[in-house]
Amino acid sequence: GENVEQHPSTLSVQEGDSAVIKCTYSDSASNYFPWYKQELGKGPQLIIDIRSNVGEKKDQRIAVTLNKTAKHFSLHITETQPEDSAVYFCAAASYDKVIFGPGTSLSVIP
Amino acid sequence: DGGITQSPKYLFRKEGQNVTLSCEQNLNHDAMYWYRQDPGQGLRLIYYSQIVNDFQKGDIAEGYSVSREKKESFPLTVTSAQKNPTAFYLCASSGRRIQETQYFGPGTRLLVL
């Protein structure tokens, strides 16, 4: 079946460094790619998203890039802060389904 | 204050008991979803509904049931047939199209006594 792979599963960075999380999808019909941040014991919150007609999108310290040919997209967080520590999920959506990646646990070390 | 609410925050189930998790949204969204999350795992779709009085099974529907009598509400019942119900349950809503952003509630943690 269709799936979304996400790497790495865990990531530790020093405060102020950048963090990159990569996702690969298999369904070529996917055309919407959201990223969610989930803090412990809470529901996921949308942090940024991108559609297939755009290659890159940026919102302050967060950016997402999409390579449709290679079927992968990445989340970039610059100048990381301790409050960025959380689990991050990518997802790929087509007209009839949304598939989530397994998540990346990001730890930002002060 | 718009959003999605789930209740209760914690729920305990005795063996052989059915329990119902509540999900309400005031975002005027057509579609609603239920996901299950196990520790250290991603999200698995249980059921979803794109319109009132209609719903579809997701990947792990066995042992669960839902109803969609009102646009704002999408309750999930965990039946006694679900042998391993301990998990974190998340409700979400979106516009009618699947490719629209899903907004999640705060979740309900279900524990078995």
Amino acid at B72: E
pLDDT at B23: 98
Residue B8 touches chain A, beta carbons under 8 Å: no
Instruction: Assign A2 a pLDDT band (cuts: 50, 70, 90).
Output: confident
- CB contacts, 8 Å: B102 with chain A: 34, 46, 98
Check pLDDT > 70 for residue B2. Answer: no
Residue A49 touches chain B, beta carbons under 8 Å: yes
Amino acid at B46: I
Q: For B98, which of A36, A45, A97 is closest by C-beta distance? A: A97
Question: Over the stretch A16-75, which tens digit does the pLDDT of each residue have?
Answer: 999 999 999 999 999 999 999 999 989 999 999 999 888 999 999 999 999 999 999 999
- Contact status, residue A78 vs residue A92, Cβ threshold 8 Å: no
Cis before B8 (ω within 30): yes
- The residue ranges of DSSP E strands in chain A, in sequence order, are 4-7, 10-14, 19-25, 32-38, 45-51, 56-59, 62-67, 72-77, 86-93, 98-100, 104-109
Nearest CA in chain B to A96: B98
Q: Which residues of A46-55 are buried (b: 16+ CB within 10 A; e: fewer)?
A: ebbbbebeee
Q: For B105, which of A43, A95, A101 is closest by C-beta distance? A: A43
Instruction: Assign B99 a pLDDT band (cuts: 50, 70, 90).
Output: confident
